[in-house]
């Protein structure tokens, strides 16, 4: 399954075969074709980054859905496979995604750790995000409360742990007031 459309254009990705046996992209592509729903990957390197080592700045997640000759996915898996024309996907660099949703003032004192549950169970790279990626040295303070959440992402589940960084209380006092919805610091 060759990548034929990329926006914005990326020469390193255009024409790349998602069924490359040296990579692990095929399982999620096949799952999207079979399921008729959204399928997310575990943390991975995008095709454009495939020759680099896994690093926080490159860690990404792709959400894919199959395209069919019919307006809606066929109800039966065999019919879905027979009428599939390809897949579409959207890629997220996880550090950039989290940077865009966590207010900067909260990055100073919150510690966020996200793990892909299925990838962890399969023994694959499972770390979706850790606050230390955006603030080197950031860690969760020992002995402080931790909030645990399960977050569904397409067909996967992420385990989200939110805690405080060491000295968070002193940093919070010097941080401008955050959003009115915030109940953790105000």
Q: What is the pLDDT of residues 79-98, one digit of tens each?
A: 999 999 988 888 899 999 99
| Average pLDDT of the segment spanning 26-54 | 88
Q: Is the pLDDT of residue 171 over 70?
A: no
| Average pLDDT of the segment spanning 62-91 | 92
Domain ranges, ordered by start, for the chain: 103-173
Q: Is the pLDDT of residue 22 over 70?
A: no
Amino acid 166: pLDDT: 86
pLDDT band at 175 (very low <50, low <70, confident <90, very high): very low
Strands laid side by side in the 127-130 sheet:
127-130, 110-116, 156-164, 147-153
Residues whose CB is less than 8 angstroms from the CB of residue 149 and which lie 6 or more positions away in sequence, other chains included: 159, 160, 161, 162
pTM for this one?
0.80
Say how far apart CA 117 and CA 83 lie, in whole Å.
32
The whole-chain average pLDDT of the chain stands at 83
Per the model's pLDDT, the better-predicted residue between 14 and 64 turns out to be: 64
Q: What is the pLDDT of residues 100-137, one digit of tens each?
A: 998 888 888 899 999 999 999 999 999 999 999 988 88
Say how far apart CA 74 and CA 70 lie, in whole Å.
7
| Surface-to-core class of residue 46, CB atoms within 10 Å of its CB (0-12 exposed, 13-18 middle, 19+ buried) | buried
Contact 61, 132 (CB under 8 A): no
Say how far apart CA 175 and CA 41 lie, in whole Å.
36
Amino acid 137: pLDDT: 81
- Joined together, the tokens standing for residue 136 give 């080197």
């Amino acid at each position: 399954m060759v990548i034929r459309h990329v926006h914005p254009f990326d020469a390193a990705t255009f024409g790349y075969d998602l069924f490359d046996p040296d990579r692990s992209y095929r399982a999620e592509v096949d799952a999207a074709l079979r399921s008729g729903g959204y399928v997310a990957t575990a943390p991975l390197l995008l095709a454009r980054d495939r020759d680099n080592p896994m690093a926080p700045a490159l860690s990404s997640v792709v959400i894919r859905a199959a395209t069919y000759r019919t307006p809606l996915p066929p109800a039966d898996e065999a019919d879905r496979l027979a009428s599939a024309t390809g897949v579409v996907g959207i890629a997220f660099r996880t550090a950039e995604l989290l940077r865009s949703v966590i207010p900067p003032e909260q990055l100073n004192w919150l510690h966020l750790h996200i793990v892909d549950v299925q990838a962890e169970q399969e023994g694959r790279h499972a770390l979706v995000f850790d606050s230390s990626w955006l603030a080197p040295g950031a860690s969760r303070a020992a002995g402080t409360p931790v909030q645990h959440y399960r977050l569904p992402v397409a067909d996967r589940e992420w385990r989200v742990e939110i805690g405080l960084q060491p000295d968070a209380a002193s940093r919070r006092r010097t941080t401008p007031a955050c959003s009115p919805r915030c109940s953790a610091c105000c």
